[in-house]
Structure 1
Amino acid sequence: MAPATRAAWTFTSEAPASGTAPVPLLFIDYDLRLDLENTAPRGLPYTFGVNVSQSQPQGPNVAAAKVWASFDDGVNWQELTVRGGQGLSTVGVKHPARGGSGFVSLRVQAADTAGNTIEQTIIWAYRLR
């Protein structure tokens, strides 16, 4: 279980003419392909999915996403290779063969075409074996 998770959103909203309207928030989903103990192999290339979506079905398109990994509990961050677009991306990382805390922490920043953003950090997102 992650000992620390942080998410921060920036968005523009206005009062609807009548009734209510959803706030234009971005959400991040991860497809980590971990084993039953939430671990991934050390020392090997590893890919996982990141899906960024908008809370409004007809909202702005997701424009960009960046992903970082930390192997020392968030002290140092390494930007990862992100492939794909429109909110659905594949991320590649090479896990260290040894050292570090034995965990991978993740940070994602994403934005949509209207300038709404999210930054999410998960310390100890998953363990290395």
Structure 2
Amino acid sequence: MKEIILMICCAALLLACGNKITSKRMPASQRVITENKAQGNITDHPDYNTGIQLVRQSDCFTCHKISEAFVAPSFTEVANKYRSYSDSIVRHLAGRVITGGSGVWGILPMTPHADLSKDDAAAMIRYILLLKQ
């Protein structure tokens, strides 16, 4: 029980610190240099630039990393879990980003992002789904 409380306190501390990346340049550890062979270079995809800009402007990198689990699952893990891309999946995941929630990836909740529009959240999700391997 103490471990759970400690994990929740650590997660709350990380979330409280925030990590808004507002510069146009992203740290090397968070750059995506991955190619999806089926789609070619993902940076050429129209959803890539819009989505990555919105992710950079948000607090996503406080808990998520591109290709390794941190406080929350990596974007690559999320993309691989939802491999079957559809508009309904994008709407569902965008709703989860806006309202927050827990239980899918463990006990730590994702904080709500109520200030995001549905269109912006959907653009972020479309970017994340491009990262599947």
TM-score (norm 2): 0.25
As a proportion of its length, which structure holds more strand?
1
* Structure exhibiting the larger radius of gyration computed from Cα positions: 1
